[in-house]
Amino acid sequence: MGRLAEVVFILIIRAYIEEAEVGQGLLRAMKDPRTSASLNCMHTAPEKGWTLDQLAAAAGMSRSLYCKEFKTLLAETPLAYLTGWRILTSKELLLENKENISEIAEKIGYQSEAAFNRLFKSKVGETPAVYRKQMLAAQNT
């Protein structure tokens, strides 16, 4: 159900984008059919070990053109965006269910819980376990 809701949300955003004039950012990237195709890959399967070649192929562009276009539209590289998406997804998973950290790490594309913990801490400022504990405590107050 969660993935279906994401796909419906993306379709709604795409319909909005078709009607609106947007500048740089995610909405602009979603309006571009090529970049949107690669974003859809990342959003629907963050656990996959995406490479630049695979994402560029999904976008129907050469690797160098894809990286240039993506960075122009989103002001970050495709793999940096993917990392950010994985962190955002992991934050949601940490709060929505009681799966252990290693299961969540695997769901978003990390084979090693230790690697996921290091990355999460570098991006969020605390480990996934501490984040979960603090956010759940804040929700209960």
Q: Which domains does the chain have, with CATH numbers?
A: 2-75 (no CATH), 84-139 (1.10.10.60)
The region that residue 12 occupies, defined by phi over 0 for left and psi between -120 and 50 for alpha, beta otherwise, is alpha
Q: What is the pLDDT of residue 69?
A: 93
- The model's pTM: 0.79
Tokens 């122009």 belong to which residue? 72
Q: What is the pLDDT of residue 21?
A: 54
**How confident is the model over 60-105, as pLDDT tens digits?**
999 999 999 999 999 999 999 999 999 999 999 999 888 999 999 9
**How confident is the model over 28-38, as pLDDT tens digits?**
777 788 999 99
> Tell me, what amino acid is at 26?
L
Three-state secondary-structure class, residue 80 = helix
- Whether 22 shows a pLDDT value over 80: the answer reads no
